[in-house]
Amino acid sequence: MLSNKNYIKNLVIAGVFIALGIFLPGSSITDQAAFTANITGISMGIGIGWLIKTVFEKKLAKQEA
């Protein structure tokens, strides 16, 4: 079962990756042609993927309990 501490830790990690993707200079929001747009896009993808993984783990843990 996924503990609350582990769930919160995973949410924080996902939030950090998403925040990096949004707030890095040259993010895809402000400059489409920059190389950093690729880096921020990857960071956003990792953050969203981590968030989805966390939600699915929480749902599976509730079903097993």
CA dihedral 29, 27, 35, 39 (to 10 degrees): -120
Confidence at residue 1, expressed as pLDDT on a 0 to 100 scale: 44
Regarding pTM above 0.75, the answer is: no
Confidence at residue 27, expressed as pLDDT on a 0 to 100 scale: 57
Residues 40 and 22: beta-carbon distance below 8 Å: yes
Give dist(CA 29, CA 24) in Å, integer: 10
| Helix 35-64 and helix 4-23, axial crossing angle in degrees, nearest 10 | 160
pLDDT by 10s per residue, the chain, length 65 = 457 888 888 888 888 888 877 777 665 555 666 666 677 778 888 888 888 888 888 777 777 76
